[in-house]
Amino acid sequence: MSEQSPNPAVGSGQLAGRVAIVTGAAGGVGSGAARRYADEGASVVLTDISGPAVEAVAAEIRERGGEAFAIACDIADPEQIAAVVAATVQRYGTVDILANIAQGGLDQHKLLEEATAEQALYAYRTGPLQSMLFMQHCLPIMKEKGYGRVINTASGAAVHPTPGFSTYSMAKGAVMSLTRVASQEWGRYGIVTNTFLPVAKTPGFDLTEQGRAAAKQLVTMVPVGRFGTPYEDVSPLLVFLASEGAGYINGQAIAADGGLSLFT
Ligand SMILES: NC(=O)c1ccc[n+]([C@@H]2O[C@H](COP(=O)([O-])OP(=O)(O)OC[C@H]3O[C@@H](n4cnc5c(N)ncnc54)[C@H](O)[C@@H]3O)[C@@H](O)[C@H]2O)c1
């Protein structure tokens, strides 16, 4: 199936009038989310460390009639995170949806015995810490309007760790805890926060030997019998969690993975 909507008008407009920030929007899951959010009527701010690549996705969305704006941002740098939120407010006046999808260090997978403190800190800085900073910068805006949808991206590796993904699994576990904390502290402001766990074929798997091996194995393990795609299989859950109808779903970890991981 195609990565792109066969018909930009296919969306039902359930995010019409909403403003969304999508991080990692040049990547597999992030670009699928950004395209789908735009197809559902949101104005989308796309960020990624790769400026030209994220601008290309935004340009494609605009060509399809969507509203999109790209900003290069290294999520390891707190000042760049602040700048993304400020630019979003300057351009669109608000933020309703924050989809924290990027994760750094996807090219540094290691066994625990080989992992360095530097790698662990980088996975943490470009995972739960940057997600927390994006959330904190969006908080005053969402709190004032009494509305917010925050989605953080974890991984089945946080709950069922696969050997070779040590610091990544640790960081993703912290992402899930971050979501739970926010759900308890921010729910009263009309802001709901959920963790999303995808499985889809993306360029991220091709960055390391461990990633390539995991991709081969996953194809054989997904109960629905195929490797999902970011746009068709994964982004519908991201749309739902970003929608008005998700206002009573808070602090949950929900997978779009064909049934690979069962969370109780
Ligand atoms: N694809 C899957 O099956 C799967 C499974 C579990 C979890 N995830 C999670 O989904 C998210 C997206 O992964 P993906 O598979 O689309 O990977 P991907 O490699 O295709 O995309 C990741 C994107 O993040 C960007 N990025 C990396 N470091 C960055 C930095 N320092 N600053 C800003 N942007 C940066 C990359 O440029 C890339 O565009 C990640 O959080 C990943 O851990 C994916």
List the residue whose alpha carbon is closest to atom 38 of ligand 1.
Answer: 27
Q: Each residue of 199-222: b (16+ CB within 10 Å) or e? A: bbbbebbeebebbeebbeebeeee
Q: Which residue has the tokens 């009263």?
A: 188
Stretch 35-47: mean pLDDT, rounded? Answer: 98
Task: Evaluate whether residue 67 is within a structural domain.
Answer: yes
Residue of 37, 147, 168, 231 with catalytic role: 168
Task: Evaluate whether residue 141 is within a structural domain.
Answer: yes
Task: Evaluate whether residue 5 is within a structural domain.
Answer: no
Task: Tell me, yes or no, if 189 is annotated catalytic.
Answer: no
Task: Evaluate whether residue 1 is within a structural domain.
Answer: no
Stretch 195-217: mean pLDDT, rounded? Answer: 91
Probe residue for ligand 1, chosen from 103, 159, 199 as the CB with the greatest number of ligand atoms within 8 Å: 103
Structural domain of 174: 10-256
Task: Evaluate whether residue 26 is within a structural domain.
Answer: yes
pLDDT at 222 over 90: yes
Q: Identify the band that residue 8 occupies on the pLDDT scale cut at 50, 70 and 90.
A: very low
Query: What's the CATH code of the domain at 45?
Result: 3.40.50.720
Mean pLDDT (the chain) is 94
pLDDT computed for residue 208 by the predictor: 87
pLDDT at 2 over 80: no
Task: Evaluate whether residue 174 is within a structural domain.
Answer: yes
pLDDT computed for residue 254 by the predictor: 96
Which atom of ligand 1 is closest in space to residue 127's alpha carbon?
Answer: 41
Task: Evaluate whether residue 89 is within a structural domain.
Answer: yes
Task: Evaluate whether residue 80 is within a structural domain.
Answer: yes
Question: Number of folded domains in the chain?
Answer: 1
Probe residue for ligand 1, chosen from 3, 106, 201 as the CB with the greatest number of ligand atoms within 8 Å: 106
pTM of the full structure: 0.95
> Which residues line the pocket of ligand 1, CB cutoff 6 A?
24, 26-30, 48-50, 73-76, 101-104, 106, 126, 153, 155, 198-200, 202-204
Q: Identify the band that residue 10 occupies on the pLDDT scale cut at 50, 70 and 90.
A: low
